Structures are given as structure tokens and as C-alpha cells.
Amino acid sequence: MVLDSAGIGEMPDAADWGDAGADTLGNIFKSRIVSVPNLQKLGLGNIRPLNGVPVAESPIGSYGKCTLKSNGKDTTTGHWEMAGIILKRAFPTFPNGFPGRIIDRFVAEANVPGILGNIPASGTEIIKELGEEHVRTGKPIVYTSADSVFQIAAHEEVVPIDRLYEMCEIARRILDGDDKVGRVIARPFLGTNAADFKRTENRHDYAVPPPSENLLPMLNDAGLDVVCIGKIASIYDSLGVTEDLTAKNNDQTIDQTIKALSAGSRGLIFSNLVDFDMLYGHRRDTEGYAKALEHFDSRLPEIIAALHDDDLLILTADHGNDPTYKGSDHTREYAPLLVYGKTAKPGVDLGTRGSLSDIGQTIAENFGFDLVAGDSFLADLS
């Protein structure tokens, strides 16, 4: 389970990314006492000192932190690394919007009457701001974020879904080479005015396919289940995915994870808790982030209760997004690592791992495989 953006302190190269001093969990726990007794029992406070999270004398889980070895600090980079893919070149981001050469080509090839936006923005806020103008003019709303994404928002009654998907396919083709963003995303919405515009469930992602030598297709090829929950399948362009369970927020992700655990699958259940990043990190909402951590902690016993004796729960993050930090960008941080299994050895200090790919290598070793990257910690838990 990926607590999206829940970094646990700056990496040595954070200053090179403009992120010196970033500390997502550390600064949230400094903001007030955050009640996370279940994460504390797993060993969260054993990873490093955190205000209000005492060291567990006998933690029920094992603990450590993972280096993001890849060149990047975005969703795709972090998740791909977990599956054994180390990126030497970061996916491009466009903090000032997309250059004219990209927009002009998109307008011409998609045959649209121009675009609105072309700024980094929250998806819900930009349709409030520009949705009515879009309805009047028919111009699609183009925006990006701290991730490497090109997003197109359009009202379903102004731009039919098939037409929006066609626009995204054109954008995906244009965004290649040095401009190859991680994902192009269709963001349809409905409503009558800014006050009630609401995104629909017809979102569709057009991702860069990952290299085929990664954990997910390896498990699939061996006849194992690869159940993806939330945005996980789209991050891997569905490569190797055997089941894609829809989840739009943290609670739905937890519900679907418990459902998948109860379904008797054998292989990998891969979940992403998106609210931490989308609703609180990017919006620099420290209190909202703190409450979301408390809520996740309150539901953690349900997840643990659903585990079978031979299941292993791994909690981590893909990057940081310090809500107390300047701007609204991701932050270059270590990812926490908490591991629990009913028959796994507890209380193991897993240390500072060399890469998030150690997670994928551990899963691979459990099923008799070997990834090209990562050092397994499976033996430490036996």
C-alpha cells in the first residue's frame, strides 16, 4: 500500500531539487499531536524521531526507509522503481505550463478552437475557474501538475467522451522525445455552472508503457494475480495487471484492498492512497493531511485483520509532498517502510534501503523470481 507522498525526510540530494529541509511526515507531526497508535505499533517512530510518535519497545512490524534512486520525484518514477525500474532520466515536468510549440501543434492536430488554462492547477479548482468559459467557447482546458502529466478537462455535453479521448491520443502522440510526459489524462466533467461542476468517472489515462522487465508482468506471466487498486493500473499502463479495482479516494482504496484480501487471490495486491498527495500535499493543507493520517490509522486494524497467515503487508510512499513547504510541488524525500505479517519476524530494523526497488525484489524473491534491480529483505523477516 502506497501512502501517496508520505515522505519521511529530505534525501541527501534534496537541495539539488530545490527541496532542502523538506520533511512531509516530520513537519506534519510537528504541527500538532497526530494520533496514529497503530502505525506507532508497527514501528513508525522507530524509523526516526517523530514528534508525538514514541519508539515502540516491541514493534509488531519491521521498519526502515527507502531511497528514491531514480532521477525524479513524481508518481510514475516512484511506483516504477518499486517494480524494479530505475530511471536515469526524469520524466519532464512543466511548472510554467507547456511551451507554445506543444500547444500550437496540439491545437492544429486536434482541430480545436484554442485552449484554456495551460497552467499547473488542481483539477477541481480549474474547472470551477474555467469551466463556464469552456462551455461557452468549446475550448478544452489544458493543465498540468507537479507530476509529469498533460491533462485535458472538458464537459461531457460540450465535448463527447470519444472526442475527448481522441484529443488525448493526439496529445500522447505529440508528447514524445524530450517532451514525453509520464501520462496524458482525460478529465471529463458535468454540471451546469461553476458551483456544481463535478468530474465524472470517465477519466482515462494514456501512460508511457513501462519496460516489460518489471515485477507486474513477471508475476502475471507466472499465473499469479496482480490486483491493482486506485490509480496503480494506469501508472503501469495496465501492463501485467490481472484486475483493476476502481477507487477514487482513500476510503474506497481501503475498502477495495480489504475486498481483494478476502477474495483469496494469490500474488500481488497493489494499492495507492491518493488523498494524501492530491487533496492535502499539493494544496499545502497540513491539518487535512494530519486528519487523513489519523483516519488511515483508525482503519489499519481492518486491513491487518483481513490478512491471511501467509500475507505480507508493506506500507511505503512514492515521494514526498511536504504540506508545510513552499509552492505545491512534490519533495525529494525518503519513503517510509513498514512491513507486517502474522508469521513474519517482527521488530527488524531494515535500515536505509538503497532503493524503492528493494520492495519489488522482496516480492519477486517470495515467488521465486529475480528483478534486475533491488536487494530483497525477505530473509530478514524469516
Please, what is the Cα angle at 122 between 2 and 8, to 5 degrees? 35
Are residues 203 and 214 located together in one domain of the fold?
no
Question: In the chain, pLDDT over 70 holds for what percent of residues?
Answer: 100
Are residues 286 and 197 located together in one domain of the fold?
no
Q: Is residue 94 part of a domain?
A: no
Q: Is residue 358 part of a domain?
A: yes
pLDDT in tens, 72-118: 999 999 999 999 999 998 899 999 999 999 999 999 999 999 999 99
* Domain end point (choices 191, 207, 223): 207
Contact 308, 341 (CB under 8 A): no
Are residues 256 and 121 located together in one domain of the fold?
no
Query: How many domains, in total, are found in the chain?
Result: 2
CATH number, domain of 262, equals 3.40.720.10
**Residue 77, C-beta contacts closer than 8 angstroms, at least 6 positions apart:** 68, 70, 71, 87, 90, 91, 182, 318, 319
Average pLDDT of the segment spanning 133-158? 95
Q: Is the pLDDT of residue 238 over 90?
A: yes
* Domain end point (choices 173, 207, 241): 207
Q: Is residue 95 part of a domain?
A: no
How far is the CA of 379 from the CAs of 232, 352, 361, in angstroms? 27, 16, 12
Are residues 200 and 227 located together in one domain of the fold?
no
pLDDT in tens, 10-33: 999 999 999 999 999 999 999 999
CATH number, domain of 133, equals 3.30.70.1250
**Residue 176, C-beta contacts closer than 8 angstroms, at least 6 positions apart:** none
Contact 340, 316 (CB under 8 A): no
Are residues 198 and 156 located together in one domain of the fold?
yes
Backbone phi, then psi, for 223, in 5-degree steps?
80, 15
pLDDT classification of 153: cutoffs 50, 70, 90 = very high
pLDDT in tens, 123-143: 889 999 999 999 999 999 999
- Output the pLDDT for position 207: 87
Are residues 276 and 142 located together in one domain of the fold?
no
Are residues 312 and 331 located together in one domain of the fold?
yes
pLDDT in tens, 34-66: 999 999 999 999 999 999 999 999 999 999 999
Domain encompassing residue 157: 100-207
* Domain end point (choices 169, 184, 207): 207
**Residue 60, C-beta contacts closer than 8 angstroms, at least 6 positions apart:** 41, 42, 43, 340, 346
pLDDT classification of 264: cutoffs 50, 70, 90 = confident
Are residues 198 and 218 located together in one domain of the fold?
no
What is the longest distance spanned by two Cα atoms in the chain? Answer: 64
Distance CA 34, CA 47 (A): 17
The set of cell numbers assigned to 66 is: 527507502
Are residues 16 and 53 located together in one domain of the fold?
yes
Q: What is the pTM of this model?
A: 0.90
Are residues 259 and 161 located together in one domain of the fold?
no
Are residues 202 and 214 located together in one domain of the fold?
no
DSSP letter for 278, please: I
